[in-house]
């Protein structure tokens, strides 16, 4: 158990819908990263937050957005869902924003878009 | 942008034998970290080993060690005395300042361990 929690574990929805994925980082971790794992794209970085502020963006679509709240939990919002958005979405947390800080991964949320 | 390449989609090793997984990367940064992550069938991402680019000594963690060749931009993972529990997907990853220290992953190598 990494200490990072993600809810829900599984999500099944239809095209065009909007969903919210939630992540609670390890106690004391200020940085949250979101990653998407799909068969087509592999594992790719979406977006990063540090202490409530956006710090870096990766290959995140305009239909996707995220935020980190004062209690440091983070939410990833996916809208106008398409079949290709079906993937495993990971949240990871670390103490700070630095390469030497290990990122601890949550168990992921499996999103299926029908 | 940094790219990470794992040229072996699948590898197979017998129990108790040694296997080496390959990884190459491309970067213009001088300081960065490299990682190997393991993803078993449970899908949980588990850090196996990490290497700082400024350290010449290769990292080791029990049965896992790396061969880091900075000039060649190569970072291979050696698993000694392979065990059935080592069967998993292995991802090589890069982290540097230009990407906000997010992990940039390769496509992965699926390791099969046979009895």
**What is d(CA A11, CA A103) in angstroms, rounded to the nearest whole number?**
24
pLDDT tens across B66-87, in order?
Answer: 999 999 999 999 999 999 999 9
Average pLDDT, chain A: 95
Q: Judge: A102–B50 Cβ closer than 8 Å, yes or no.
A: yes
HEC string of chain B equals: CCEEECCCCEEEEECCCCEEECCEEECCCCCEEEEEEEECCCCCCEEEEEEECCCCCCCEECCEEEEEECCCCEEEEEECCCCHHHCEEEEEEEEEHHHCCCCEECCCEEEEEEC
Q: Scanning the structure block, which residue is given the tokens 């068969």?
A: A39
Q: Judge: B103–A42 Cβ closer than 8 Å, yes or no.
A: no
| A6 interfacial to chain B (CB closer than 8 Å) | no
For residue A45, the model assigns a pLDDT of: 95
For residue A67, the model assigns a pLDDT of: 97
**What is d(CA B115, CA A56) in angstroms, rounded to the nearest whole number?**
44
Contact A26, A106 (CB under 8 A): no
Q: Which of B32, B50, B103 sits opposite A45 (nearest CB)?
A: B103
pLDDT tens across B87-101, in order?
Answer: 999 999 999 888 888
**What is d(CA B41, CA B89) in angstroms, rounded to the nearest whole number?**
8
Contact B115, B94 (CB under 8 A): no
**What is d(CA B84, CA B98) in angstroms, rounded to the nearest whole number?**
38
The alpha-carbon gap from B28 to the nearest alpha carbon of chain A, in Å, equals 16
Q: What is the mean pLDDT of residues B43-65?
A: 94
* CB-CB neighbors (< 8 A) of A89 in chain B: none
Q: Scanning the structure block, which residue is given the tokens 């710090």?
A: A55
Residue A99 predicted with pLDDT over 90: no
Percentage of chain B exceeding pLDDT 70: 99
Q: What is the mean pLDDT of residues A47-68?
A: 95
How many other C-beta atoms lie within 10 A of the C-beta of residue B66? 25
Bridge partner residues of A92 (DSSP): A33, A105
| A26 interfacial to chain B (CB closer than 8 Å) | no
Question: What does the angle CA B61 – CA B66 – CA B68 come to, to the nearest 5 degrees?
Answer: 140
pLDDT tens across A6-17, in order?
Answer: 999 999 999 999
């Amino acid at each position: 158990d990494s200490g990072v929690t993600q809810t829900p574990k599984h999500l099944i929805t239809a095209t065009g819908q909007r969903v919210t994925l939630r992540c609670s980082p390890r106690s004391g971790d200020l940085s949250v990263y979101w990653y998407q794992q799909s068969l087509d794209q592999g594992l790719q970085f979406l977006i990063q937050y540090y202490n409530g502020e956006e710090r870096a963006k990766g290959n995140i679509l305009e239909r996707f957005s995220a935020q980190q709240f004062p209690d440091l939990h983070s939410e990833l919002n996916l809208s106008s869902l398409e079949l290709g958005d079906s993937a495993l979405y990971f949240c990871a947390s670390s103490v700070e924003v630095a390469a030497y800080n290990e990122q601890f991964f949550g168990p992921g949320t499996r999103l299926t878009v029908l | 942008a940094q790219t990470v390449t794992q040229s072996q989609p699948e590898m197979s090793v017998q129990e108790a034998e040694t296997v080496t997984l390959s990884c190459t990367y491309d970067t213009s940064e001088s300081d960065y970290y490299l990682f190997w992550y393991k993803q078993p069938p449970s899908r949980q991402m588990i850090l196996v080993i990490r290497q700082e680019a400024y350290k010449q000594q290769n990292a080791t963690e029990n049965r896992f060690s790396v061969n880091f060749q900075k000039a060649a931009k190569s970072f291979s993972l050696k698993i000694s005395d392979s065990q059935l529990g080592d069967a998993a997907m292995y991802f090589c990853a890069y982290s540097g300042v230009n990407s906000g220290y997010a992990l940039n992953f390769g496509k992965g190598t699926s390791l099969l361990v046979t009895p």
